[in-house]
Chain A
Amino acid sequence: MQALKYARASSVDEAVQMLRDGGPNAKVLAGGTDIIVLARERRRKVELFVDIKHIAEVMALEYDATKGLTVGSATPLYRVYNDANILKHFPALTQSAHVIGGTAIQGRASLGGNLANSGPAGDSITAMMALNGTALIAGPGGRREVKIDEFCTGPGQNVLQAGEFIVSLHFPHPAAHSGSAWERFIPRNEMDIAVANSGTYLVLDGDVVTEARIALGAVGPKVFMVPVDSLVGKPLTDETIAAAGQAAKATATPIDDMRGSIKQRLHLSDILTQRTIRAAAERARA
């Protein structure tokens, strides 16, 4: 490991100050499951780790039937997927958190870390986008909020400015008669990175879709939202679901790599979108 120092922040303001004093090679340490590897392999220059896990806001998990859900940026994934309120009201989040890495990774890794890495295949990111999440960011200029569907700007790139970090993630309470679902395709059962993933949130009025949010991952340079014109305001039928799948496929711009081909990923964009729509609709009707 490169020579580095460790500091424990006890408040958001103290973390901001430590990051400011530490300069560009001061890095936030949340779960550490990515940054420690990057530092060890010298793919990132790190002179100081600022541990944010002793800040209450950053480790929060608060559900309120009117205010919605707030999850601290470093709250470990196992707490997210073991939470009964999240399973009941935000099941897309439970599904994605449960398959990121293995059990030992989930003991440390976090939604905030997954988002900050901004990987095009970030599993929880598409779930958080479908659920209309907002990231609360703190930095030298104070605090600001950014919608999660506008957070990632490219592969490994995002809106965070120097010295900024994610404090927490907020999700509005889902509407009545709504449902969410998330799925990914990998060639094995666990411990893999998505060939494609999809998160969907939708609201039904009888059979008519009144709102839909569909996000796709690993089929473009960043996670993105799928246009939902073919679905919203229309009854949920095989035809409108198929049209939404086609819209997803038409929006995807995947690459060929060791995990999958362009052809497979285009197909998966269609199929996973249709599946998450059907699963979300089933939950909306339940």
Chain B
Amino acid sequence: MTTTNSTHFVLSANINGERLEFLADERDSLLEALRERAGIRGPKEGCNNGNCGACSVLIEGVLVNSCLVMAAECQDANITTVEGLASPEGLSPLQQCFLEEAALQCGICTPGFLVASTALLEENPHPTEEEARFWLAGNLCRCTGYDKIIRAVLKAADQKDA
């Protein structure tokens, strides 16, 4: 088999509800394709090996690390990044709770936490603190010490009652 340095293909996917088509390379991870090809820079590259969760996105509603998915796997997929959480009317309730609880400092981990927490509340609208911490164990934050993030997530869950 011959390999070349560049094997471009057209990636066509629904990203945050919008049909996008753009050139990507067969060697690109989904994270690289989103950031460098499509200009969607919400997902962050932290560790690039599945430990930190900064690149968390949803594929068909399922939480994944976009650094551990090849872009070529995502042909025709439905992908949600942090950019897809807010609506034109404003922040999502979860994002608002992150603001109110000061659940971020430097912000690098925040897109991943928001996407992962959105998936949590979708799956389990009223998690216990332990369930929230277990679900978010794959998202690392080196600033907040997690307590504020967990408070924000549980607050957003509480508001779902109202």
Question: Residues of A at under 8 Å CB distance from B?
Answer: 1-6, 8, 21-23, 25-26, 29, 31-33, 36-37, 40-41, 47-49, 51, 53, 76, 78, 101-105, 107-108, 189-191
Contact = CB atoms under 8 A, between A and B. Distances in A.
Contact of B119 (A36, A101, A103, A189): A103
Contact of B1 (A23, A31, A103): A23
Contacts of A107: 59, 62-64
B68 A32 contact: yes
B138 A5 contact: no
B7 A190 contact: no
Contacts of A4: 3, 26-27
A29 B68 contact: no
Interface string B49-83: 11001001001001111011110110100000000
Interface string B22-60: 000011110010000000000000001110010010010
Contacts of B1: 5, 21-23, 25-26, 47-48
Given A4-B27, A40-B49, A190-B137, 4 more contacts: A5-B1, A37-B68, A41-B49, A108-B68
A32 B53 contact: no
Highest count of chain A CB atoms <10 Å: which of B50, B69, B119, B134: B50
A37 B26 contact: no
Interface of B: 1, 3-7, 26-29, 32, 48-50, 53, 56, 59, 62-65, 67-70, 72-73, 75, 116, 119-120, 133-139
A106 to B, nearest CB: 8
Given A6-B72, A103-B137, A1 B116 contact: no
Highest count of chain B CB atoms <10 Å: which of A36, A41, A103: A103
A26 to B, nearest CB: 8
B5 A3 contact: yes
Contacts of A191: 137-138
Contacts of A47: 1, 3
Contact of A104 (B6, B26, B116, B133): B116
A6 B134 contact: no
B50 A33 contact: yes
Nearest to B28: A1
Nearest to A48: B1
Nearest to B137: A190
Contacts of B7: 3, 5
Contacts of A5: 1, 3, 7, 26
A59 to B, nearest CB: 13
Nearest to B62: A107
Contacts of B56: 104
Nearest to A39: B27
A36 B68 contact: yes
Contacts of A36: 29, 67-70
A25 B138 CA distance: 31
Given A40-B48, A190-B134, A190-B137, A32 B27 contact: no
B3 A76 contact: no
A1 B29 CA distance: 8
Given A5-B7, A32-B70, A37-B50, A189 B137 contact: yes
Given A36-B70, A47-B1, A3 B138 contact: no
Contacts of A1: 27-29, 32
Contacts of A6: 26, 70, 72-73
Given A108-B64, A108-B68, A53 B137 contact: no
B31 to A, nearest CB: 11
B65 A105 contact: yes
Highest count of chain B CB atoms <10 Å: which of A41, A78, A107: A107
